[in-house]
Amino acid sequence: MAYAWGSLLTAVRTGAPAYHTVFGRPFWEDLQAHPDIAASFDALMGPPGHGTPDPEVLVTGGWESVRTVVDVGGGTGSLLAEILRARPAVRGTLVDLPATVARSGEVFEAAGVAGRVTTVGQSFFDPLPASADLYLLKSVLADWPDREALAILTRCADAARPSGRVVVLNGVSPDESSGPSPELLMMVLVGGKDRGLSEFRELARAAALEVRAAERQPSGRFVVECGPTS
């Protein structure tokens, strides 16, 4: 992916991803065409520094009412595995493309939670497993421009009705944040961006979600919790 930086000037000028100008096809299509690159990307999107993901993902309330979690675009399942390992009463569903979820088995086996996980190989632009208590979007929305991000949020809202929660981790920042976005590479690759909370609030509202809480956790991660509007 290092060669993609050669398209940075075009991406900045147009506001659109320019990966295809270097590689001949859009980034996501290129991943599907090259499984070895896709596997490397999954590894890159795993825990920072190959550490253990933080399973504390809620802003409001405890886990007493959560029995089912859907990790939307959750890669090979490292975060979901840690959530289930920390909470034996919870069951999980991992949603990602077929080739990606196919690599999740060893992650869940190593965590000792394979018996409580269902994997669903599909796009998150398709209808999601419905009626779970919690839907997670970790490092997903910043990968996409507004139109696609809205579509993903809408799928989450539809699946979460009437009383599920949608939690966004990474990709949204407090409005008072300053400095360059850490998602510059994703802008170059796919046209994504980091969004301020006010901007995200408008996007969520268009998807029939309302932001109910947002906070920066002790780890430094900014978390936004949403619920479906009536």
What the block records as the tokens of 32 is: 């599907």
Q: Are 34 and 186 in contact (CB under 8 A)?
A: no
Out of 1-10, 11-20, 67-76, 111-120, least confident range: 1-10
What phi and psi, each to the nearest 5 degrees, are found at residue 142? -70, -10
**C-beta atoms surrounding 139 within 10 Å:** 19
d(C-alpha 7, C-alpha 9), whole Å: 6
Determine what percent of the chain is predicted with pLDDT higher than 90. Answer: 57
What the block records as the tokens of 129 is: 């497993």
Q: Which CATH architecture has domain 61-228?
A: 3-Layer(aba) Sandwich (3.40)
The three-state secondary structure class of 137 is: strand
- Looking at residue 180, its pLDDT comes to 46
Note if the bond before 162 is cis, omega within 30 degrees.
yes
- pLDDT tens per residue across span 95-107: 999 999 999 999 9
d(C-alpha 187, C-alpha 216), whole Å: 24
Residue 69 has pLDDT above 90, yes or no: yes
Residues of the chain with CATH 3.40.50.150: 61-228
